[in-house]
Structure 1
Amino acid sequence: MTNVAPLGIFGRLASQSAFSESADELRRRVGEIPKGERREIAGYLRSGAPIIALMGYSEDVLGNEFFCPGGPGIMSDGHFFWRGDTADYVEHYGIGLPEEFIAHGTARRWIAPALSRDDIIEIDDRLGELRRAGAL
């Protein structure tokens, strides 16, 4: 379980101001997920386990369509990790996600696994290692 992978651009631990610097990269990926698939994928992302909960909220850096309490926090399904506001970007803009994640979610029928307390601690420890290494 400790080999959790970042979910592309959303697999970064970043403040709102730092994440807003990714707006151009996000814009390039708008519409990559068809409208008919967005809700199911967003539901999966929202049902991930919170790993790093942060106070505050994030604001939509593309068009002010939403804000997300705890948006800069990190969630996981035990295989990938992502920002808490990822589901909103997928749902509102269809921001593309890595093919490996799409295949993973499709194979799971977009039902996120329940993570145990030990799983969450193990993932948090791994993310701590990545932060200390400067990889997050």
Structure 2
Amino acid sequence: MRQVTPLGFFSSISSQSRFSVNAEEIKKLSGQMPVHDCSRVAEYLRRAPVIIALMGYTEDVVGKKFGVMGGSAIHSDGTYYWRRDTAEYVETYRTGLPSGFMEHGARMQWSVPHLSDAEILEIDDFFESLRTQS
């Protein structure tokens, strides 16, 4: 089983209404992402494989500026995991992300590593173990 690290509250596997409690936290992080990093970080977040595909439509909990089909789906680069709509918060609000993730992405030159089917299944097993622990 491959363990992955949550990307703060952006790793929340929850409904839109439960995720909306993070609105104030997201506002506090707004403007913290350097302008020159926003597009490459957002692209990295989008290109990582989907580990848990969740249907539904999420809306921006800060300023209602965007909506995302499948926004609560979970992506992973094999080290971290996050919600699909994280990319929109980065692009729209320049939302800062944890320094460990930013350092990791910079080391990777913002190029998403290839994950084999077996690696994706190992990460999925990790999420299954979290569900069974609850």
Q: How much has 1:12 moved relative to structure 2?
A: 1.3
User: Secondary structure, in 3 states, of the residue corresponding to 2:127?
Assistant: helix
Letter of the 1:112 counterpart = V
Q: How much has 1:79 moved relative to structure 2?
A: 0.4
Alignment-derived partner of residue 31 in structure 2: 31
Q: How much has 1:132 moved relative to structure 2?
A: 2.8
Alignment-derived partner of residue 77 in structure 2: 77
Structure 1: gaps spanning 5 or more residues:
none
Sequence identity, in percent?
47
Letter of the 1:2 counterpart = R
Deviations 1:18-39 (A, max 9, x none): 0011101111111110222100
Name the CA distance, whole Å, in 2 between partners of 1:112 and 1:93: 22
Name the CA distance, whole Å, in 2 between partners of 1:10 and 1:122: 21
User: Secondary structure, in 3 states, of the residue corresponding to 1:32?
Assistant: coil
Name the CA distance, whole Å, in 2 between partners of 1:113 and 1:44: 10
User: Secondary structure, in 3 states, of the residue corresponding to 1:22?
Assistant: helix
Name the CA distance, whole Å, in 1 between partners of 2:78 and 2:61: 27
Q: How much has 1:131 moved relative to structure 2?
A: 2.8
Name the CA distance, whole Å, in 2 between partners of 1:72 and 1:112: 20
Alignment-derived partner of residue 19 in structure 2: 19
Letter of the 1:24 counterpart = E
Letter of the 2:64 counterpart = N
Q: How much has 1:49 moved relative to structure 2?
A: 0.4
Q: RMSD of the TM alignment (CA)?
A: 1.1
Q: Number of matched residues?
A: 134
Structure 2: gaps spanning 5 or more residues:
none
Deviations 1:39-61 (A, max 9, x none): 00000000110000011111000
Q: How much has 1:81 moved relative to structure 2?
A: 0.4
Deviations 1:93-129 (A, max 9, x none): 1111111100000001000011111111110110121
Q: How much has 1:133 moved relative to structure 2?
A: 2.7
Letter of the 1:33 counterpart = M
Structure with bigger helix share is 2
Letter of the 2:91 counterpart = E
User: Secondary structure, in 3 states, of the residue corresponding to 1:40?
Assistant: helix
Question: Normalising by structure 2, what TM-score?
Answer: 0.96
Letter of the 1:105 counterpart = G
